[in-house]
Structure 1
Amino acid sequence: MSIVSFVLTTCLIALISGINARKKKVKTTNELFFANRSNNFIIVGGALLLSNISANQFIGENESIYINNMSVMAWGVSSVLAMLLVAEFFLPVYFRTGAMTIPDYLGKRYDNSTKKMVSIVVLCSYLINLLPAVLYGGAVALTGMLNFLQPLDLSYWQNIWIMVWGIGFIGCAYSVLGGLRAISISDTVLSIGLLTVGIAFPYFGFRFLGDGDWLKGAHILLSNHKEHLNSIGGAFDEVPFSTIFTGMFIMNLYYWGMEQFIVQQALSAKSLSHSQKGMGLACLGKLLCPFLINFPGILGVHLYSKLDKTAEVFPLVVKDTLPSVLIGLTAAVVLGAAISTFNAGLNSSSTLFVLNIYKPWKEKKNEVVTEKHLVFTGRKFEIIVSFLAMLSAPFIMFSKVGFYTYLQQLAGMFCLPIFTIIIIGVLFKRVPPQAAKIGIIFFIFSFIIFNYILSVKIHYLHMLALLFVTTSVSMFFVAKFYPNYSYTEVQLESVKLSPWKNRYWFFAFLIIAMVGVFVFFSKWGIA
């Protein structure tokens, strides 16, 4: 029954996305990469949330809660502050300057060689970290929940390979055939499924824990192992609370304001106002995430005294506590979440390659490049990237650190140098392109030395904050050799730049709610 429910839900989502996407056939790069800038705030908000929530969160965060406590939720909950800063300060800049990609903006701020350099760094990040990790997380979740391949008597390693390639093929087909429009619509539909699962999970989970008595189960969960309910991480937890104010804040600000596949969703809005509303809607979703996706990790603490493969806690809890129909629905949501992030990453990889590398190279050779040819090239590039990601994803199984920690550590090496040159470039108009290039190289080499060669006893998030400061200093030092350099922002007059009028009231509510969620999961609340 669970497999039937899974197949029906997955097909329904695909059908809705396909019908809506076919109404607007993809003929131009603007349609393929930005949905023709026609999405309203509901579609933007749903796409932002589901592009962020992948199987990595379901697997990695629940594993961390099972091993440590709720401190891992800080990644999502504290991101609300970063998202509001992006809505208020970053999105107006992107809309005003007409930047289509983050490297595109850096090309306007610095020069074309910086644009190309950053494009390559981001593409490496997607190929090495984002896309393989999304496929692996989805494969682990589906293997644990549904056991499609159990009758074939395959090993766990073989199951992971088959699941990775299955998710990869479906995701590639979505992105190649439908473009960003199909991705955005499927994300919006999936957000409804996520909400349904999030509401159902506590009810059935409490009933299972209390042997059919919902209240008894709730009492057990709130009375025993209370240390796992604490979101205020100590110095020896995976996510110490102090990191929220250093490297985590920087990573969140980069992710929501500079990560290409996230920014691309925001830029698909029909106006700045709709983009800001969409970001606000996604913030609300992030505040609900501890209640929607982290409950299985807490429940797993009470159900399993010891797991050899802690990454399997989420699929095990789903399989043991939910009825068959909801197991299928949950599997469909997890698959959809994995595909949505994979799709968004694929689409953004293609955007960066086609607009920032391939098209300039063709124009430099004085060749005429048609929109039809660029769309064809973009789709072909997505297929190649998909195959590379599918080949490498299963090997993440051999990572020596926790899955979520592995993702964040590796992401820092690619994200923070770009974050640094954007922040310095926005705030200081006299920093030249040469400083940006040296800053990127300085950061990446320093990161590799301190994290993989030297044994430095400091949390990696604090290390990222220190490297941000030292890289900024190196950029200011280089700038001293170019005293006459100055940058003037070029603005577009054709873009709708009227901001969301009532945003400050909603933003204030979100900040208060963010603090409230931390207090709820603390010694002053249920912990």
Structure 2
Amino acid sequence: MHALTLASFLFFTGLVAFITWRITRRDDHHSTSGYFLAGRSLTFPLIAGSLLMTNLSTEQMVGLNGAAFADGMSVMAWEVVAVLALVALALFFLPRFLRSGIATVPQMLLIRFDKDTQLICNLIFLLAYAVILLPIILYSGAMGLQGMLDLQGLTGIESDSLLLWLTVWVVGLIGSVYALFGGLRTVAVSDTLNGIGLLIGGFVIVYFGLQAVSDGGGVMAGWETLKESNPEQMNSIGGPEQQVPFSTLFTGVFLINLFYWTTNQQIIQRTFGAKNLAEGQKGVLLTGLFKLLGPLYLVLPGIIAYHLYADEGVVADEAYGHLVFNVLPPYLTGFFAAVMVGAILSSFNSALNSTTTIFSLGMYKGVINKDATEDQVVRSGKIFGWIMAFATMIIAPLLAGQESLFGYLQRMNAIYFIPILAVVLVGLLTKRVPPMAAKIALVGGCLMIAVGYFVPPFNRIPEIMNEFHFVASVFVILVATMLLIGKWRPRQTEWVHEDSGAVDLTPWKGAIPSGIILVVLVIAIYVAFAG
């Protein structure tokens, strides 16, 4: 069984690598536009595939299904509410970002505020990606692979710690090669290929999982069994004691999703590489359509695992890998593990590519060597990327023991998500708010949330009011503070958002109708599962 699993794993992994190399081998990897923005050539299928796969890594597959194992259908909020954020990206944020011709979010803050605001935002992103995002991607990927491939049995390594370290380093090194030698288009192409495999594999797992629930009686019989035996698990409305209470959908959960899909460099860099605004909008809204399917392959398997293994002592973040290993035939287990490696690599190399972009264009070219040539800028990104990759591979295994991987990720992300979102929103919606307000919000917001999480007695506040309501309150305070400073000490002249001429800004005619349809579908899904 192990030989067949391993053979199918190696075949699919190698196939994706070969096809990606064939498609991108003649791409421009030496200029900053070619390396960091794919030469502004991305069309909507590549944008949608890359957005989906950058998001759908193992912190989603393992973490969100683990959250569903513990709390049921209510955690689908992270998938379904994301659709609202994607509509906002297509209709409001993307036209303004492409008008500016930017490659990074901090560059937007340079255009709107000043160089010091850009520098602060660069440093926040780099620190957050190094300490929070990249290590979680590698750790969750290693945990998922250990369960799916039974790596202990396959390798004969009995030490959990040693196996975790080895898995993290192998995946990290492969992901680094993709990101640092290939550039954004290589990432986007491999993402799209893996995305097709992941969607197929995700639905195949649901099929076999429901078959296991019904003891071979069929998918619909399995679905009925889940609803009858675990009705509380199938409720989309989260209770106050759960990870995602329903009320938080309108506060912190919405704001974290809004940042993630509209202002997170790791995600939206592929939209900056759009051929034109219309292609970007189509890609973003197609991603929204796919996200509506998210509960089927990112939440339902966790509920199936709860039904099958809740009495066997399986912990939440091991549930998905346990389900895959037990319900899939060996040849499909290897295929799906290969797709999962692709998902891990996708998120890891996308985050690493974004990290090098921020460093090269924001720190190296902007601060360290302002006269750097194109080759020097790209080379600095590759060197910094390797440094960041090795640091990440050291930090990742130290995350072992977290109670809820996905909950930990969202909690830590809020520290920098909320301040950056507040500054970008106020910057785009006002003309007179000065740079001083943005700097106070960036630094003060990160400190406020960090103190609320970690410093007694202030860490009691998120527990009392719910941490998602807490971060939403911080967001309101930051926006109000910036607006007050704008009234008290406004810019001397109004900010004018000039068109850089980087791409054609003609919008897609179907953008607004498609956005409305997606919002209606979000509401319909919540109503359908409300119990």
**Aligned position for 1:452:** 454
TM-score normalised according to structure 2 size: 0.95
Which of 79, 88, 99 is residue 76 of structure 1 equivalent to? Answer: 79
Q: Which amino acid aligns with 1:496?
A: D
Letter in 2 for 1:274: E
Which of 492, 499, 502 matches 2:500? Answer: 492
1:295 aligned residue: 300
Aligned to 2:316: 310
What is the rounded CA distance, in whole Å, between the counterparts of 1:98 and 1:218 in structure 2? 48
CA RMSD of aligned residues (A): 1.5
Distance (whole Å) between structure 1 residues aligned to residue 401 and residue 518 of structure 2? 39
Number of corresponding residues: 519
Query: Following the alignment from structure 1 to structure 2, what is the Cα–Cα distance between the partners of residues 104 and 153?
Result: 47
Distance in 2, matches of 1:148 and 1:191, equals 24
CA contact (8 A) 2:434 2:491 kept: no
Asked whether the 8 Å contact 2:28–2:35 carries over to 1, the reply is: no
- Corresponding residue number in structure 2 for 1:515: 523
Q: Is the alpha carbon distance of 1:111 and 1:295 closer, same or farther for their aligned partners in structure 2, counting shifts above 3 Å?
A: same
Offset, 1:147: 2.1
Q: 2:85–2:261: 8 Å Cα contact kept in structure 1? A: yes
Q: 2:33 aligns with which of 27, 30, 35?
A: 30
Q: Alignment partner for residue 325 of structure 2, among 304, 319, 322?
A: 319
The answer to whether 1:505 aligns with 2:510 is no
Give the drift of 1:357.
0.7
State whether structure 2 residue 6 is matched by structure 1 residue 6. Answer: no
Cα shift readout 1:78-133 (whole Å, capped 9, x = no counterpart): 11111111111111111112122110010010000100110000111101111000
1:57 deviates by 0.8
1:203-218 map, 5 Å: 203-214=207-218, 215-218=220-223
**Residue type matched to 1:169 in 2?**
L
Superimposed CA distance per residue, residues 481-512 of structure 1 (whole angstroms, 9 cap, x where no aligned partner)? 42453322222235201000122222222122
Equivalent AA in structure 2 for residue 433 of structure 1: P
Gaps of 5+ in 1: none
Cα 1:484–1:30 change in 2 (3 A) is closer
Q: In the alignment, what sits opposite 1:85?
A: 88
1:258 aligns to 2:263 (yes or no): yes
Percent identity over the alignment is 36
Indicate if the aligned counterparts of 2:83 and 2:518 stay in contact, CA closer than 8 A: yes
Alpha-carbon shift at residue 29 of structure 1 (Å): 1.3
Q: Is 1:40 the counterpart of 2:43 in the alignment?
A: yes
Find the counterpart in structure 1 of residue 423 from structure 2: 421
- Check conservation: 2:148, 2:324, Cα contact below 8 A: yes
1:264-307 per-position Cα deviation (integer Å, ceiling 9, x unaligned): 11111100000000001100110111112322201111111243
Report the Cα offset of residue 375 of structure 1.
Answer: 1.4
The letter of the residue matching 2:215 is D
Pick aligned residue for 2:442 from 401, 426, 440: 440
Structure 2 unaligned spans of 5+: none
Contact 1:296 1:318 in 2 (8 A): no
| Aligned mate of 1:188, from 179, 188, 192 | 192
- Whether 2:204 is the aligned partner of 1:197: answer no
Contact 2:90–2:511 (CA<8 Å) still a contact in 1?
A: no
Q: Classify 1:221/1:129 alpha carbon distance in 2 versus 1 (closer, same or farther; 3 Å).
A: same
For residues 351-430 of structure 1, the aligned pairs below 5 Å read 351-364=357-370, 368-399=371-402, 401-430=403-432
Q: Deviations 1:370-423 (Å, cap 9, x if unpaired)?
A: 211211111111111100111001111133x41111100110001111111111
SS at match of 2:151: coil
Alpha-carbon distance in structure 2 between the residues aligned to 1:237 and 1:126: 28
In the superposition, relative to structure 1, how do residues 493 and 268 fare at CA in structure 2: closer, same or farther (>3 Å)? closer
TM-score (ref. length: structure 1)? 0.96
**Which secondary structure state, in structure 2, belongs to the residue aligned with residue 69 of structure 1?**
helix
| Structure 1 Cα separation of the partners of residues 306 and 502 of structure 2 | 55
